């Protein structure tokens, strides 16, 4: 039976953001926690007390949304309105408090999403590839994870009676959303078919099953994204891609179980069903809008059955979650920014970032800055660069036109030493140039083509099918290891400042909401 913890025993008294309120930098047994033991809150001494309590917390994660991505998306959004672009600001860039976040995993200088989201959701850095378990766990080893699960902020929110939600454009079982509710030593264990025999024997549960069997509070109120295949059995055809089936071997349809497990519950898989949901009547909503990941924003209008935008899912989630007078926690991920970068398609990475900013705008308009903490950040960056000295207002996805000696735009493209033009945005590694008629992911079906092998003079580099040049040939473009930005507003947001460990995201959410995480972790069941 799911246990609801009494709020009175778990919530701290008067909320004062002070240096003494921050957690120590080491855990029991001497294992380093990688909290802010340098250049962080404890060494600042300049923070003003904030007596407001965050009744609601919304965490926005732009997967792979490094600072170069934010800058380029800012310019593109402005240029789509007919402006030069450079002077534009994405909505979340107007939030009042900004910091930089150090993204490394405990075993990798350049991180993956599993380890980084674990840091943000649990306050502890961990290894690449593991989800909400500590750094002592061996990746892929079920037994090693036993007893090493890290309580997440979403779980804590449920334990104190808040409503919770997870929204993403990836599969709901992908690394970033999974880290809010699941605990596994292998990020790829998305359904039971992915589990090795050792894991099955030793009782490890796949990620999709952990979402449905969530043990805290009264369960998640909202979960929306892609990934139907991980929730449906092989015996059932997908309703949209009818020639394909689910992937579960246990013959369970977890979406049906969601509806039967909760009162006033609903399951939707297309735009029409989503639009028909009345938030006043639905208390638990599961939306699985694609068999795998949802569409990129540019491709969304062409989806077979139709699917909602990230902003629409954010709005619907808030309408359901805010019915709880105790407040809510919502995590919203712009997950396909990352996928477009991996494919080397800047167009889709930037247009998905623009939609992500619209989702933030929606949340800010629907909530009150006095009782809602909003955090916008990335889990990591990408090797996505912007350079070449283009003139002001040069199309961000275009070829570089420079300035002459008088500072005026030159009449033609700037040429490299090989005599060919080049683009403002490029990738340091990846699959390289391609010009395709269809979406970003089709790049994987075309041979690697790195370096300066094609004259771009007559190629429309602003087209959605253009994939940027890359230097180092790899099967997929990689993450980058530089710091990412944190933008925030609302109660507790002043704690973000300077350069901080990524675990600060959890610490600020925890303190701003007034949750006694130490009590919860000692008394969890």
Name the 3-class secondary structure at 112.
Answer: coil
Q: Give residue-wise pLDDT tens across range 36-46.
A: 643 444 443 34
> How far is 314 from 222, CA to CA, in rounded Å?
10
Rounded CA gap, 504 and 34, in Å? 10
What are 84-102's pLDDT values in tens digits?
999 999 999 999 999 999 9
Angle between helices 346-366 and 310-321 (to 10 degrees): 30
Report pLDDT for 6.
Answer: 39
pLDDT at 112: 99
Q: Label residue 31 by pLDDT band (50, 70, 90).
A: low
Let me know how long the chain is.
Answer: 525
How far apart, in whole angstroms, are the C-alpha atoms of residue 398 and residue 394?
A: 7
Strand, coil or helix: 227: coil
Q: Closest Cα partner for 115 from 430, 479, 373, 384?
A: 479
Distance of alpha carbon 313 from alpha carbon 137, whole angstroms: 35
- Band (pLDDT 50/70/90 cuts) for residue 266 is very high
H or E, element range at 321: helix 310-321
- For residue 439, the model assigns a pLDDT of 72
Percent helix, strand and coil across the chain, each rounded to 5? 30, 20, 50
List the catalytic residue out of 33, 68, 101, 113.
Answer: 113
Residue 60 sits at the vertex; the CA angle it makes with 59 and 63, to the nearest 5 degrees, is 130
Contacts of 128 (CB under 8 A, 6+ apart): 105, 107, 108, 111, 112, 114, 115, 139
The DSSP secondary structure of 135-187, one letter per residue, reads: TTSPTT-HHHHTT-B---HHHHHHHTT-EEEEEEEEETTSHHHHHHH--BS-T
Q: Chain-centre distance of CA 103, in angstroms?
A: 14
Q: Report the pLDDT averaged over residues 302-311.
A: 97
Strand 470-473 relative to strand 425-430, pairing: parallel
pTM of the entire predicted model: 0.93
pLDDT in tens, 358-407: 999 999 999 999 999 999 999 999 999 999 999 999 999 999 999 999 99
Q: Cβ contacts of residue 278 below 8 Å, gap of 6+?
A: none
- Residue 13 in this model has a pLDDT that exceeds 90: no
- Give all domains of the chain, ordered by start, each with its CATH number: 51-383+479-523 (3.40.720.10), 387-477 (no CATH)
Using DSSP, state whether 53 is helix, strand or coil.
coil
CA distance 265 to 271: 17
Q: Averaged over 117-133, what is the pLDDT?
A: 99
Is the pLDDT at 481 greater than 70, yes or no? yes
Name which of 257, 255, 233 is nearest 244 in CA terms. 233
Task: Read off the tokens for 445.
Answer: 């079906």
Burial 138-176 (b: 16+ CB within 10 A, else e): ebbbbebbeebbbbbbbbbbbbbbbbbbbbbbbbbbbbb
SS3 of residue 457 by DSSP: coil
Which residues does 496 contact at the CB level (< 8 Å), separation at least 6?
97, 98, 99, 375, 486, 488, 504, 508
Phi, psi dihedrals of residue 26, rounded to the nearest 5°? -135, 150
CA distance 334 to 92: 13
5 has a pLDDT exceeding 60: no
Q: Report whether pLDDT(344) > 60.
A: yes
Q: 2-11, 121-130, 382-391, 513-522: which has the minimum mean pLDDT?
A: 2-11
Burial (CB count within 10 angstroms: exposed 0-12, middle 13-18, buried 19+), residue 9: exposed
* Cα 19 from chain centroid (whole Å): 29
Which residue's structure tokens are 């089709």?
442
pLDDT score recorded for residue 37: 45
Place of tokens 């069997």: 213
Mean pLDDT of the chain: 92
pLDDT at 147: 96
Nearest residue to 426 via CA among 457, 451, 463? 451
- Burial classification of residue 452, based on how many CB atoms lie within 10 Å of its CB (0-12 exposed, 13-18 middle, 19 or more buried): middle
Sheet holding 425-430, edge to edge: 384-386, 425-430, 470-473
| Structure tokens given for 516 | 């006694």
Q: Catalytic: 144? A: no
pLDDT for residue 12: 38
pLDDT at 134 (0 to 100): 98
pLDDT at site 51: 78
Backbone angles phi, psi at 333, to 5 degrees: -115, 125
Residue among 164, 189, 275, 177 nearest 225 (CA): 177
The per-residue pLDDT for range 431-452, each reduced to its tens digit, is 999 999 887 888 999 999 999 9
């Amino acid at each position: 039976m799911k246990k609801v913890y009494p709020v009175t025993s778990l919530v701290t008294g008067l909320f004062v953001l002070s240096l003494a309120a921050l957690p120590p930098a080491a855990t029991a047994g001497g294992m380093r926690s990688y909290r802010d033991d340098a250049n962080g809150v404890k060494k600042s001494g300049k923070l003003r007390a904030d007596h407001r309590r965050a009744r609601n917390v919304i965490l926005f994660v732009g997967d792979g949304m490094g600072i170069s991505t934010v800058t380029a998306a800012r310019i593109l959004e402005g240029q789509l309105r007919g402006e030069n672009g450079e002077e534009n600001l994405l909505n979340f860039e107007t939030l009042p408090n900004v910091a930089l976040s150090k993204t490394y995993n405990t075993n990798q200088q350049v991180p993956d999403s599993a380890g980084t989201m674990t840091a943000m959701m649990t306050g502890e850095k961990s290894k690449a590839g593991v989800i909400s378990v500590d750094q002592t766990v061996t990746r892929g080893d079920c037994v090693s994870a036993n007893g090493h699960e890290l309580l997440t902020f979403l779980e804590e929110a449920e334990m104190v009676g808040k409503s919770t939600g997870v929204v993403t454009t990836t599969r709901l079982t992908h690394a970033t959303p999974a880290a809010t509710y699941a605990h596994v030593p292998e990020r790829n264990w998305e359904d039971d078919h992915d589990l090795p025999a050792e894991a099955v024997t030793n009782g490890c549960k796949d990620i999709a099953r952990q979402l449905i069997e969530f043990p805290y509070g009264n369960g998640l109120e909202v979960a929306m994204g892609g990934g139907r295949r991980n929730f449906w059995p092989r015996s059932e055809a997908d309703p949209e891609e009818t020639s394909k089936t689910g992937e579960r071997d246990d013959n369970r349809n977890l979406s049906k179980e969601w509806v039967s497990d909760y009162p006033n519950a609903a399951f939707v898989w297309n735009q029409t069903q989503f639009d028909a949901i009345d938030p006043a009547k639905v208390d638990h909503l599961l939306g699985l809008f694609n068999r795998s990941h949802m569409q990129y924003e540019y491709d969304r209008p062409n989806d077979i059955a139709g699917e909602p935008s990230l902003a629409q899912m954010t709005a619907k989630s808030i309408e359901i979650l805010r019915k709880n007078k105790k407040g809510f926690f919502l995590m919203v991920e712009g997950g396909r920014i990352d996928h477009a970068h991996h494919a080397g398609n800047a167009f889709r990475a930037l247009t998905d970032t623009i939609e992500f900013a619209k989702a933030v705008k929606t949340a800010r308009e629907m909530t009150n800055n006095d009782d809602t903490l909003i955090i916008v950040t990335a889990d990591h960056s990408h090797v996505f660069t912007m350079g070449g000295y283009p003139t002001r207002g040069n199309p961000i996805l275009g070829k570089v036109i420079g300035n002459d000696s008088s500072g005026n735009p030159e009449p033609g493209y700037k040429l490299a030493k090989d005599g060919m033009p080049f683009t403002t945005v490029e990738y340091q590694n990846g699959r390289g140039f391609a010009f395709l008629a269809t979406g970003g992911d089709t790049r994987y079906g075309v041979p690697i083509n790195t370096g300066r092998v094609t004259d771009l003079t007559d190629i429309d580099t602003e087209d959605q099918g253009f994939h940027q040049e890359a230097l180092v040939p790899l099967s997929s473009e990689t993450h980058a290891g530089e710091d990412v930005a944190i933008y925030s507003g609302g109660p507790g947001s002043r704690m973000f400042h300077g350069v901080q460990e990524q675990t600060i995201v959890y610490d600020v959410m925890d303190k701003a909401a007034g949750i006694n995480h130490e009590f919860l972790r000692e008394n969890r069941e």
